[in-house]
Structure 1
Amino acid sequence: MGVDYYNVLKVRRDAGDEDLKKAYKRLAMKWHPDKNLVNHKEAEAKFKLVSEAYDVLSDPQRRQIYDLYGEEALKGAYDVTPPPPARSASSVGSRPDSSSFRYNSRDPDEFFADLFGDRLSRDRLFGEKRHNSGIERAEKSMEAGGSKKPPPVESKLTCSLEELYKGARKKMRISRIVPDEFGNPKTVQETLKIDILPGWKKGTKITFPEKGNQEPGAIPPDLTFVVDEKPHPVFKREGNDLLVVQTLSLLEALTGKTHSITTLDGRVIDLHGTDIVRPGSEVVIPNEGMPNSKDPTTKGDLRVSFNIKFPLRLSENQRSHLTMALEGAEC
């Protein structure tokens, strides 16, 4: 028979229209590519298959042809005549005469939009701030009358500033409880891969659908990792700008000194000090800050501020020489 559409939707073979619709909505929301940025390719394939299964089984004519002859008949492996509305004992196992009937699967995104309609538009479902968007409202709406999906389980994902600057891949080993075939709890382990993109900020959320603990007969919650930024010994982040403080002695502030700053990707930037540095002054180096997560080719600025260390005391000789050296200097 090829693909088992009933198994794809996790429904019985005698499932009615409402059962099919609930199953499709739950799985379409779970596997929509816009909700699965981490495992995008896998989600895209599963979303397409779920849409195809519902498109076939929700149409009485296509469903009867599929039940009799399987997926090949629908997709043109051979011609069939649409069967009569009711199946009789004599019709089972016999092939109808050829005709021009053909099934062409619809675009999954178009099919998804048609079913959800304007009330749950794509923008509301998959906006940039997904955790505050229409996803939660849509899931609650589609699960009304059935098992409600628990709220996501959140876990902290600590990243260094270097990882958020350059990007990285993290592997998270998780253990969760799921019911076995008899409904008894069992522990399963899984490794989740998370691709940290350059420029991600503290608070960014990465969601793995239905990876939380599952109660028998209930929908498991999503597992959400929330990015947390580890403090850095040199740099402080402010939006997409990086801030660094350079400490100078009073002599260095007055006479100048070359300072070297090692960037988060290992490059060295030299600051040639020739002018007098005043307390509170700042040097801005464009495009040396954090990458913009939406466009990693652009970056914020590197802002260097200066802390001037004044001497605690001066000897009479030092005072005399300092007075002579600075007498008449412009202020």
Structure 2
Amino acid sequence: MGKDYYSVLQITRSAKDAEIKQAYRKIALNFHPVKNPGDRHAADRFRESSEAYDVLSNPQRKAIYDQFGEEGLKNGVPLDKTNWSDPYTFCGDPHKIFHEFFGGDNPFADFYKHAELDKSENFGGLAGRGRKKQDPPIERDLMLSLEEVFHGCIKKMKISRRVMNDDGHTSSFKEKILTITVKRGWKPGTRVTFEQEGDQGPNSIPADIVFIVRDKPHPIFRREASNLVYVQKIPLASALTGTTIHVPTLDGRILDIPITDIVKPGFTRSIPGEGMPLVEDTNTKGDLIIEFDIEFPKYLNSDSKDFIKKALIPNAYKKEDKPKKQNVQMKSSDFED
């Protein structure tokens, strides 16, 4: 069961924006690590309340969460026939949410006048004023089909981020479209970075947003480096006697491949230049590797089994033995009249 952000902030689902802010303020101040040094429970409550506020204070995230729960929020949901919402990932830094909520001022200054906190940049203290620290990168998966990587394409990624208003103290959420030009042959793990496109804060540098290329599962092929692997089912009879198979390609062609060798378990056939384009030279491609899945018959009658034995096991049936000569001992009396 998913997280209940409303329970975390101890509010009802009908709570308005002001109530959400008030609830977060109370919990964040009560459970802040400065007031609860070494208290693991307080640290967990502080972090949970930060994530809950980050979701419920954003109208779009809140709407998705209210309808689809945590799973829909973090996995994305269909907005229309072609577009999905961006999966939500908490920034992982509750101090960042706290810092932005209080506008960079230290709410504990009146209580900890002699503490080192006043010198910390985490809350805009004396030593921290004017200094900005960049938030850690926000990483998101960029799911691409093999066709998109094979041909190259343009991907439009919609993000929702917090931006500072003109007064320099308050913020609001705005949507933005990031354009990614997918180059042919991009490999899984390729990183595309958009600098400082994360949430803005009064005393922090926005995080970079990093999209990481991942392969979508393909119904026919799988990618291994620059090669494509295709699995061909083949009946046992064809595996033994030969056949011609018809193999599709990512660009819509059909290759007719004659198989004249005996196909044994582990046998493969490699077709050069029919794999994925190389990033460094898109005119050069990897190989198409054909793996074989031999289909054995489910049943054989006795005549079929005898026929196969005669064909595959020459010595299975020996020639019929000739009648043996009898060794008869004759007596001399046998020849007398």
- TM-score scaled by length of structure 1: 0.53
**After superposition, what is the alpha-carbon deviation per residue over 1:9-65, rounded to whole angstroms, capped at 9, x for unaligned?**
xxxxxxxxxxxxxxxxxxxxxxxxxxxxxxxxxxxxxxxxxxxxxxxxxxxxxxxxx
1:177 maps to which residue?
Answer: 162
Specify the code of the residue in structure 2 equivalent to 1:193. Answer: T
Tell me if 1:151 matches 2:123. no
Question: Could you say which structure has the greater relative contact order, defined with CA pairs below 8 angstroms and 6 or more residues apart?
Answer: 1
What residue in structure 2 maps to residue 38 of structure 1?
Answer: none
Q: Return the alpha-carbon distance in structure 2 between the equivalents of residues 219 and 277 of structure 1.
A: 61
Q: Which residue of 1 aligns with 2:13?
A: none
CA contact (8 A) 1:280 1:307 kept: no
Local SS of the residue matching 1:288? coil
Q: Distance in 2 between matches of 1:288 and 1:299?
A: 6
* Percent pairwise identity: 44
Q: Which amino acid aligns with 1:157?
A: L
1:163 alignment partner in structure 2: 148
Q: 1:236 aligns with which of 222, 232, 245?
A: 222
Instruction: Specify which of 189, 194, 213 is matched with residue 175 of structure 2.
Output: 189
Alpha carbons 1:148, 1:218 under 8 Å: kept = yes
2:252 paired with 1:266: yes
Give unmatched runs, 5+ long, in structure 1: 1-144
- Shift of the alpha carbon at 1:326? 3.6
Does the alignment pair 1:247 with 2:236? no
AA matched with 1:205: R
- 1:116 maps to which residue? none
Structure 2 residue identity aligned to 1:227: V
Match of 2:107 in 1: none
Larger Rg: 2
Query: Does structure 1 residue 292 correspond to structure 2 residue 252?
Result: no
Residues of 2 paired with 1:307 and 1:262: CA distance? 17
Name 2:188's counterpart in structure 1. 202
Cα deviation, residue 276, structure 1: 2.3
* 315-324 vs 196-205, greater mean Cα deviation: 315-324
Question: What secondary structure sits across from 1:295 in the alignment?
Answer: coil
What is the match of residue 275 of structure 1? Answer: 261
Structure-1 separation of matches of 2:136 and 2:177: 22
Shift of 1:251: 0.8
User: How far is the alpha carbon of 1:164 from its aligned partner?
Assistant: 1.2
How far apart are 1:248 and its partner, in Å? Answer: 1.0
Opposite residue 144 of structure 2, the aligned amino acid is: C
Partner of 1:171, secondary structure, is strand
Whichever residue aligns with residue 244 of structure 2, its letter is T
How far off its partner does 1:279 sit? Answer: 2.0
> Is contact 1:208-1:224 (8 Å) kept?
yes
Note the aligned Cα RMSD (angstroms).
Answer: 1.9
In 1, Cα distance between equivalents of 2:205 and 2:266: 57
Q: How many residues align?
A: 186
User: Using the alignment, how far apart are the partners of 2:224 and 2:145 within structure 1?
Assistant: 15
2: CA distance between counterparts of 1:320 and 1:209?
A: 73
Mapped pair 1:307 → 2:293:
yes
Q: Normalised by the size of structure 2, how large is the TM-score?
A: 0.52
Q: Tell me how far apart the structure 2 counterparts of residues 266 and 152 of structure 1 sit (CA, whole Å).
A: 39
Find the aligned partners of 2:195 and 2:291 in 1 and give their Cα distance. Answer: 44
Gaps of 5+ in 2: 1-129, 316-337
- 1:41 — aligned with what? none
4+ residue runs of structure 1 moved beyond 6 angstroms? none
Q: How many angstroms does 1:262 deviate by?
A: 1.0
Distance 1:152 1:191 in 2: 18
Letter in 2 for 1:215: G
d(CA) in 1 for partners of 2:200 and 2:215?
Answer: 30
State the alpha-carbon separation in 2 of the partners of residues 184 and 173 from structure 1: 23
Partners of 1:241 and 1:289 within 8 A in 2: yes
CA offset digits 1:151-190 (Å, max 9, x no partner): 1111111111111111111111111111101121111111
**Contact residue 272 and residue 287 of structure 2 kept, 8 A:** yes
Q: 2:212 aligns with which of 219, 222, 226?
A: 226
Distance in 2 between residues matched to 1:263 and 1:239, nearest whole Å: 17
Any idea what the Cα deviations from partners look like across 1:44-96, whole Å, max 9, x if unmatched? xxxxxxxxxxxxxxxxxxxxxxxxxxxxxxxxxxxxxxxxxxxxxxxxxxxxx
Question: What's 1:317 paired with?
Answer: 303
In 2, Cα distance between equivalents of 1:230 and 1:173: 19
**Distance in 2 between residues matched to 1:201 and 1:259, nearest whole Å:** 29
Match of 1:213 among 199, 222, 225: 199
Which whole-Å CA distance do the structure 1 matches of 2:134 and 2:309 have between them? 77
- Quote the Cα distance in structure 1 between the aligned partners of 2:149 and 2:304: 48
CA offset at residue 328 of structure 1?
Answer: 4.4
Q: Is the Cα contact below 8 Å between 2:131 and 2:203 reproduced in 1?
A: no
